[in-house]
Chain A
């Protein structure tokens, strides 16, 4: 675990900042559900782009990885989206 984090410490730092920012944004815009959905959309896009960028930098980007990040991001975003209705 440490090796993986140290190897991509900047990437994980950006990821954690993005996730914390999403939490703050989601809580901060409440009770406006539309802004919350916008925050969810940004989170999905951010996570997908983060994954693609990190794998591209390390030269391990494949179509399956792109699909994996897309599915995980949409799944996570979908769960959050449902509770805003």
Chain B
């Protein structure tokens, strides 16, 4: 098992290194997230709806859209020059391969989220203050879940004719439970509600992560192996 973890780490490190060398995808994703925030600001009537009322939804829709853009490229880079075939020839268990891709995607989406969060505070004049650790925590929980499903769907979508359209159509229904839970928890955190009011949602998020990370890991070989 430590060996598999090491292999997963190697694959993730490869992806992250490739990303850091070009940086174009990461930069584009960050700019995209910032633009979504800006668009949201103009899509509301500031005299009718306070920014704080809309804040949790804006934050999570932005995260979801940014994750979608990030996931679209996850297996695109493996497609060029038959890189995926090379990766599959390596004596790596498919579970470790999935874990590696998942870690790399989490690093990518996590970076975009880490940049988006301060921008969101700035643009929407929301002071997260004491809620910040909680929001980071729920972001981690929710992101693991939908990025895991997104990783496996991204591997499938690149094999189709209209990959950029196929991924959102498949993935959005799977984003619904983590998104609903995350929005509910974020709203309660911002309102300073006690933890007991969020516990149910947090359990749902944790369960979603456990179920879908395990399932995607097991199903991954059905996607990549002929």
- Tell whether A and B belong to one assembly: no
A interface with B by C-beta (< 8 Å) = none
> What is B's interface to A at a CB cutoff of 8 Å?
none
